[in-house]
């Protein structure tokens, strides 16, 4: 596929989001325009870079469909001064988008090979405010908390308690909760040290958080 055709696919997605009202954050749409999704997937899948469905990235992991990624990040309501923790780096694409919205992004990936690929992809795309950490995302990173925003890109059976603790006061966490093929997208806001407010935003499918 010619690069111009990929660009047209990209613009068609944006038009769909705007007309449907799904994505209304102009900052987020600008980040989507700036980051080249085709550079975060395997070459043989490049023609599907802007198809609105998940794609495999190795080790049994996927890069989520563009609409799902955009909805999650929009729910996160990132501001320019925020420090963001991402659980599940994948190919690094989500972190690249977040890097244009917040001040600092730390992304955790449990698969060593996937983490190294994400690190390479982010470096190649000039995302200098992103750090990739290899580890168990469910545990978060207590030594760097609290975080203004936390995003989890795999289906959790319940909200991980370590991540709740590491969310700053008035911070927000977006994550899918429930069985992998019918998980509820949740947005959790930390009102104070003991009280959280949650809202749900529809059913999705994700790889499980392990």
* pLDDT for 3 beyond 90: no
144-198 pLDDT, tens digit each: 999 999 999 999 999 999 999 999 999 999 999 999 999 999 999 999 988 999 9
- Give the pLDDT band (50/70/90) at residue 40: very high
Q: Is the pTM of this model over 0.75?
A: yes
Other CB atoms within 10 A of residue 14 CB: 16
**157 vs 190: CA distance, rounded Å:** 20
Contact call for residues 27 and 43 (beta carbons, < 8 A): no
For the chain, the average pLDDT equals 94
**pLDDT > 90 fraction of the chain, expressed in percent and rounded:** 87
Find the mean pLDDT for residues 42-60. 90
80-111 pLDDT, tens digit each: 999 999 999 999 999 999 999 999 999 999 99
> What is the pLDDT at residue 210?
79
Supply the residues annotated as catalytic: 64
Give CB contacts under 8 A, 24+ apart, made by 8-17.
9/49, 9/50, 9/51, 10/37, 10/50, 12/50, 13/50, 13/52, 13/66, 13/67, 17/67, 17/70
Spatial strand order of the sheet with 104-109 comes to: 130-134, 104-109, 83-87, 147-152, 167-177, 183-190, 196-204
> What is the pLDDT at residue 1?
66
> What is the pLDDT at residue 196?
94
Find the mean pLDDT for residues 64-70. 95
* pLDDT for 209 beyond 90: no
**36 vs 38: CA distance, rounded Å:** 5
* pLDDT for 122 beyond 80: yes
> What is the pLDDT at residue 120?
96
**163 vs 139: CA distance, rounded Å:** 7
């Amino acid at each position: 596929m010619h690069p111009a055709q990929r660009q047209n696919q990209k613009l068609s997605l944006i038009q769909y989001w705007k007309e449907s009202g799904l994505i209304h954050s102009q900052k987020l749409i600008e980040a989507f325009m700036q980051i080249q999704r085709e550079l975060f997937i395997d070459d043989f899948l490049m023609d599907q870079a802007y198809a609105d469905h998940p794609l495999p990235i190795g080790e049994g992991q996927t890069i989520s469909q563009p609409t799902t990624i955009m909805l999650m990040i929009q729910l996160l309501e990132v501001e320019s001064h925020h420090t963001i923790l991402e659980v599940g780096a994948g190919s690094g694409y989500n972190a690249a988008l977040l890097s244009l919205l917040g001040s600092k992004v730390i992304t955790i990936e449990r698969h060593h090979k996937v983490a190294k690929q994400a690190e390479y992809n982010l470096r190649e795309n000039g995302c200098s405010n992103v750090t990739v950490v290899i580890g168990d995302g469910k545990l978060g990173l207590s030594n760097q908390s609290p975080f203004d925003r936390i995003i989890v890109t795999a289906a959790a059976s319940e909200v991980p308690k370590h991540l709740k603790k590491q969310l700053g006061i008035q911070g927000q966490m977006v994550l899918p909760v429930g069985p992998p093929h019918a998980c509820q997208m949740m947005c959790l806001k930390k009102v104070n040290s003991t009280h959280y407010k949650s809202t749900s935003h529809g059913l999705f499918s994700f790889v499980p958080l392990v």
